[in-house]
Amino acid sequence: MSCTPLEEIPKVYEGLKAAFRSGKTKSVAFRKAQLSQLLYLLDDNVGRFQQALHADLGRPFKEAQLLEINGTLLQLQGAHDNVEAWASPQRAPFSLLWYPMSPITRKEPKGVVLIIGPFNYPVYLILCPLAAAIAAGNTVLLKPSELSMATATLLTELIPQYLDPDVVRVVNGAIPETTKILELPFDHILYTGNGRVGRVVSTAAAQHLTPVTLELGGKCPCVIDPKCDLKTAAKRIMWGKLANGGQICLCPDYVIVPAHFQDAVVEALVAAYKELHPVDPRESGEVTRMVNKRHAERIKKLVDTTRGTIVIGGEVDTETLYAAPTIVRDVGPKDSLMSEELFGPVLPIVPVSDVDEAIAFIGERDHPLCLYIFSNDAAFKTKVIDNTLSGTVAINDTLLQIGAPTPFGGVGASGHGGYQSGKYAFETFTHMRPVTDSPNWLDSALMGARYTPYDESSFRQLNAVLHARLPPRNAASLGYFGCMAAEISCSLNWYRRFWSNRPNGSA
Ligand code: NAD
């Protein structure tokens, strides 16, 4: 991959700005055609993307197909199929007061948007936001991660072949190039990556008052209740932990379990691991490798300095970048494995006394991107959810929640702006622009009363209309039927006030 020359970067930006100003992306038909091209870009080149992902991450081909390429194609298809519906103006809910002004919300593109992607899902986390930004009518500067070089190189080759080069441009490079990019006044920035760089991006964006969506990571806990289906739970946790070699923002990072249940959980996790990997993954090649030497050394140091007990694994080869799937039990809150997001195939188990301690443990740390709960007890699930905060919650499963038709994103240190999935992604890159259109006759009706000098009787009537309808006092103590009766009485009072304040009515 060759880096984009620094002096080229402002020219790329100016080209995207000119293309946006030309108005070509305003056409929904144009956007749909680009989205169709984007689908073919990926579908025509699945084999090449699998190879690139293997070169970047040692990712098994089937895993690349199942967890990255299929998911991306589904998101692209969603954008393609729904772009007209998402882009069409939205009528405001009916209100007698506002109806004459025909209030609508137009979905306007923001302008030139910047998408900075990370190495771990270098196709999904570049092409899905790209589809959303195109659907919303923007022009787009893409900055793929320099750590997933083969994928970045392939995207750089294919994007101009399939998409309008006035509308989407790729800039490659590392810190100097990204720093140069961030000097430019974008209309929105979407950054996916770690919180340290998230702060750099936010600081640069603030210079231009550019809105930012931050998709960050953190440590996602798994809370295990003894009243769960342990075999299934263990299998899903191990699958979620080992997918992409643990390098997914929503991988379960650690497990919290009541101390008396730890032995059973460890036994189930080891059995699940053996079921998922009957052959040593070093031989089978079925666990993705660490992305580079720096990350392999980082995970090795964390494992080597743990004070917990390693149950399986523990080896990290910093030359071949292979980190063995590792389970560590009796991990304390100050352990090396609890010091940062692991982003590797290592699963610490933290014993606690009970669910209250588990909740306190989570609450003392940054809000996680995902909170996993394994339980068959409704009261347990509710208690954990009600007393914690996280970007998302998944119960009795891992990873799959990212594809659900809900907003997905972090809160606090795990980021802000739930952009992923469908129309939420579209809305991230859209300015919701309200439009009202007042007819002249409004002034001969009630709204004429707004002007000075005030006419006493029409002013009183307008004031009565604009007076909020208050809820009954002490509604909580009235019970259902009492509340209904009080509601009716409040409404009658409101109408009485309205009628009695008509210009010809009695005051
Ligand atoms: P990375 O090292 O590939 O960096 C991400 C991007 O930041 C790259 O494009 C890189 O060029 C750029 N960058 C790096 N240093 C920079 C600097 N000083 N100034 C400006 N830009 C810079 O990936 P990463 O950050 O290690 O990604 C892993 C992290 O991302 C994890 O914390 C993970 O949880 C998180 N993540 C979050 C999501 C999500 O949806 N919330 C998805 C994937 C990954």
Residue 435 C-alpha to ligand 1 middle, in angstroms? 38
- Distance from C-alpha of 457 to C-alpha of 24, rounded to nearest angstrom: 53
Predicted local distance difference test score (pLDDT) of residue 501: 67
Whether the per-residue pLDDT at 482 is higher than 80: the answer is: no
Please work out whether the CB of residue 200 comes within 6 Å of at least one atom of ligand 1.
Answer: yes
Q: How many CA atoms lie within 13 A of 9 on its CB side?
A: 22
Architecture of the domain delimited by 220-404? 3-Layer(aba) Sandwich (3.40)
Please work out whether the CB of residue 146 comes within 6 Å of at least one atom of ligand 1.
Answer: yes
Residue 174 phi, psi (nearest 5): -115, -135
35 touches 261 (CB < 8 A)? no
- Distance from C-alpha of 365 to C-alpha of 342, rounded to nearest angstrom: 15
Domain assignments of the chain as residue spans, ordered by start: 16-90+101-216+423-433, 220-404, 445-501
102 touches 438 (CB < 8 A)? no
Percent of the chain surpassing pLDDT 70? 98
Three-state SS string across 229-274, please? Answer: CHHHHHHHHHHHHHHHHHCCCCCCCEEEEEHHHHHHHHHHHHHHHH
Whether the per-residue pLDDT at 503 is higher than 60: the answer is: no
Please work out whether the CB of residue 3 comes within 6 Å of at least one atom of ligand 1.
Answer: no
Kindly give the number of the ligand 1 atom that is closest to the alpha carbon of 193: 30
* Range ranked top by mean pLDDT from 84-98, 160-174, 475-489: 160-174
Residue 119 C-alpha to ligand 1 middle, in angstroms? 7
Q: Whose CA is nearest to atom 43 of ligand 1?
A: 249
- Distance from C-alpha of 323 to C-alpha of 344, rounded to nearest angstrom: 7
**Each residue of 182-233: pLDDT tens digit?**
999 999 999 999 999 999 999 999 999 999 999 999 999 999 999 999 999 9
Please work out whether the CB of residue 419 comes within 6 Å of at least one atom of ligand 1.
Answer: no
Secondary structure tally for the chain: helices H, strands E: 18, 18
Kindly give the number of the ligand 1 atom that is closest to the alpha carbon of 408: 40
Amino acid at 311: V
Instruction: Annotate 32-69 with b (16+ C-beta within 10 A) or e (fewer).
Output: bebbebbbebbeebeeebbbbbbebbbbbbebbbebbb
- Distance from C-alpha of 174 to C-alpha of 334, rounded to nearest angstrom: 33
374 touches 402 (CB < 8 A)? no
Confidence of residue 476 (pLDDT cuts 50, 70, 90): confident
Residue 305 C-alpha to ligand 1 middle, in angstroms? 25
Please work out whether the CB of residue 426 comes within 6 Å of at least one atom of ligand 1.
Answer: no
Tokens of 36: 């169709």
- Distance from C-alpha of 134 to C-alpha of 31, rounded to nearest angstrom: 6
Predicted local distance difference test score (pLDDT) of residue 484: 79
- Distance from C-alpha of 302 to C-alpha of 457, rounded to nearest angstrom: 77
Residues annotated catalytic, as ranges: 215, 249
- Distance from C-alpha of 60 to C-alpha of 206, rounded to nearest angstrom: 40
Residue 3 C-alpha to ligand 1 middle, in angstroms? 18
Whether the per-residue pLDDT at 281 is higher than 80: the answer is: yes
Residue 198 C-alpha to ligand 1 middle, in angstroms? 8
Predicted local distance difference test score (pLDDT) of residue 502: 64
Q: Which of 174-183, 223-232, 234-243, 453-462 has the lowest mean pLDDT?
A: 453-462
Helix, strand, or coil (residue 176): helix
Kindly give the number of the ligand 1 atom that is closest to the alpha carbon of 250: 34
Helix, strand, or coil (residue 163): coil
Please work out whether the CB of residue 193 comes within 6 Å of at least one atom of ligand 1.
Answer: yes
- Distance from C-alpha of 189 to C-alpha of 212, rounded to nearest angstrom: 5
Helix, strand, or coil (residue 26): helix
Please work out whether the CB of residue 194 comes within 6 Å of at least one atom of ligand 1.
Answer: yes
Distance of CA 171 to the CA centre of its chain: 23
- Distance from C-alpha of 114 to C-alpha of 20, rounded to nearest angstrom: 13
Please work out whether the CB of residue 340 comes within 6 Å of at least one atom of ligand 1.
Answer: no
For ligand 1, mutation pick of 145, 181, 220, 420 (most atoms within 8 Å of CB)? 145
- Distance from C-alpha of 72 to C-alpha of 52, rounded to nearest angstrom: 15
Q: Whose CA is nearest to atom 39 of ligand 1?
A: 215
CA dihedral for 88, 89, 94, 100, sign (positive or negative): negative
Whether the per-residue pLDDT at 507 is higher than 50: the answer is: no
Confidence of residue 463 (pLDDT cuts 50, 70, 90): confident
Residue 145 C-alpha to ligand 1 middle, in angstroms? 8
For ligand 1, mutation pick of 142, 178, 401 (most atoms within 8 Å of CB)? 178
**Each residue of 137-154: pLDDT tens digit?**
999 999 999 999 999 999
**What is the overall mean pLDDT for the chain?**
94
**Each residue of 319-365: pLDDT tens digit?**
999 999 999 999 999 999 999 999 999 999 999 999 999 999 999 99
Tokens of 40: 């073919």
Please work out whether the CB of residue 317 comes within 6 Å of at least one atom of ligand 1.
Answer: no
Please work out whether the CB of residue 202 comes within 6 Å of at least one atom of ligand 1.
Answer: no
Predicted local distance difference test score (pLDDT) of residue 361: 98
- What's the Cα-to-Cα distance from 125 to each of 36, 192, 407, rounded to whole Å? 18, 8, 15
Please work out whether the CB of residue 143 comes within 6 Å of at least one atom of ligand 1.
Answer: yes
Please work out whether the CB of residue 197 comes within 6 Å of at least one atom of ligand 1.
Answer: yes
Kindly give the number of the ligand 1 atom that is closest to the alpha carbon of 415: 41
Q: Whose CA is nearest to atom 8 of ligand 1?
A: 145
Residue 370 C-alpha to ligand 1 middle, in angstroms? 18
Domain 16-90+101-216+423-433 top-level CATH class: alpha beta
